[in-house]
Chain A
Amino acid sequence: MRINDQAASPSSDGEGPPADHDIRAWMAPNGLVPDLELPDVDGHSRKLSDLVGGDPTLLHFYRGFFCPKERQYFRVLTALQDEAEVAYTRFVSVSVDPPEVSAAFRAGLNARWTFLCDPDRRYLDELGLRETTDTVHDPYLPVCIVLRPDLSVHAAYQGYWFWGRPTAEELRQDFRAVTRAVRPDWDAPR
């Protein structure tokens, strides 16, 4: 479910997703995502702006390897990577798992994109994405953000409940819209 849609939804009763006021302004359409800087699975420090480069990008926050919903959702993304690999489109996944855990998880998924690691929870509160109901793992809320190359938000989806996450088809539509907006030759040159 897109964040804009959620803003019109009834607020949570405590059992469900976080209340609307937990959704930070940066996640609204055209909001700017902070230029995160975190290690990848090889331990290299990476800046989000470098990773995004000039392409439409999915910024995907997930709880961690332990969550079955995440493992299921990664199946959606690993299927979609076969299209993204030929579409000048990038994925970046972020969790609190340390690099060695993320490296093993990534390899097991057969994922071919960058995983960033925030085991120190550096950005949990800055981004407003701390999942307060999991006091064991203290993870990120599951959130998918489709970014433009300038790190502005085209669409954001909050996936505390699994069905809030974007389907592959919704991501295709978002990538199409961003690509159309950022490629001056979207209409093929004549």
Chain B
Amino acid sequence: MTRTWVALLPAAPADADRATPVEVEGEGPAVLVTWTGKHHPHPQARAIDPRMVGEDGPDMSASWVELNDDEQPLFDAPEVLEARRTLLRQWPDYGASTLVSDSVRLAGSVLLGSPGSRFDDDPFARFGSRKRLRTSGMFVSVPAPTGPALERYAGAPWPYDRFD
């Protein structure tokens, strides 16, 4: 199945489909890189809800959680389910996606909001280190999923909600 992959890297690899500069709070500039394809394109690449990646997205703040292999809980672990329920109760201004690298585990998350959003209550921040980003152009706004369904569809990163 074709996926949209994203990674936060110091510099863009040559095979990337797109690379967009971002500012990482406390660290400085970096790039958000995307690929489209069936295969995992980079060790740090994570699959993202494809609806969130688009052209000419507005200025946004993002809460970016990226989990190393040894930090990744099962996607269906109770604490991950509760984090998804929390998002369904209070959807971020511009959207959110879990990040996955396989069909079993949670590999991170990204929450999107208007510039200045701090995401102090990001329910995924408890799972690993969180970075705050300023970005423009890469992400587009995605409204809340219908709910209350929480399951992944054919291994896609939640909240993508089709079996195609």
Contact = CB atoms under 8 A, between A and B. Distances in A.
Contact of B148 (A40, A46, A51, A112): A112
A176 B146 CA distance: 19
A92 B65 CA distance: 30
B84 to A, nearest CB: 9
A89 B149 contact: yes
Interface string B93-116: 100000000000000000000000
Interface residues of A, number: 27
Contacts of A174: none
Contact of A88 (B89, B93, B151): B151
Interface residues of B, number: 18
A81 interface: yes
Given A53-B161, A54-B163, A107-B89, A85 B150 contact: yes
A110 interface: yes
B163 A90 contact: no
Interface string B115-158: 00000000000000000000000000001101111110100000
Contacts of A54: 161-163
B88 A112 contact: yes
A91 B144 CA distance: 13
Contact of B147 (A42, A86, A91): A91
B103 to A, nearest CB: 16
Interface in A74-94: 81-82, 84-92
B85 interface: yes
A112 to B, nearest CB: 4
B151 to A, nearest CB: 6
A46 B163 contact: no
A180 to B, nearest CB: 16
A6 interface: no
B149 A88 contact: yes
A114 B89 contact: no
Given A53-B162, A112-B85, A112-B89, A46 B143 contact: yes
A77 to B, nearest CB: 9
A84 B150 CA distance: 9
Interface in A136-167: none
A40 B143 contact: yes
B144 A40 contact: yes
Interface string A99-116: 000000001001111100
Given A85-B151, A107-B89, A113-B88, 20 more contacts: A40-B143, A42-B91, A42-B93, A44-B144, A46-B143, A54-B161, A55-B149, A57-B146, A81-B147, A81-B148, A85-B148, A86-B151, A88-B153, A89-B149, A90-B146, A90-B148, A112-B85, A112-B88, A114-B144, A114-B147
By Cβ-Cβ distance, the 10 closest A-B pairs, closest first, are A113-B147, A112-B88, A81-B148, A90-B146, A44-B143, A85-B150, A112-B148, A85-B148, A51-B146, A112-B147
Interface of A: 40, 42, 44, 46, 51-55, 57, 81-82, 84-92, 107, 110-114
Interface of B: 85, 88-91, 93, 143-144, 146-151, 153, 161-163
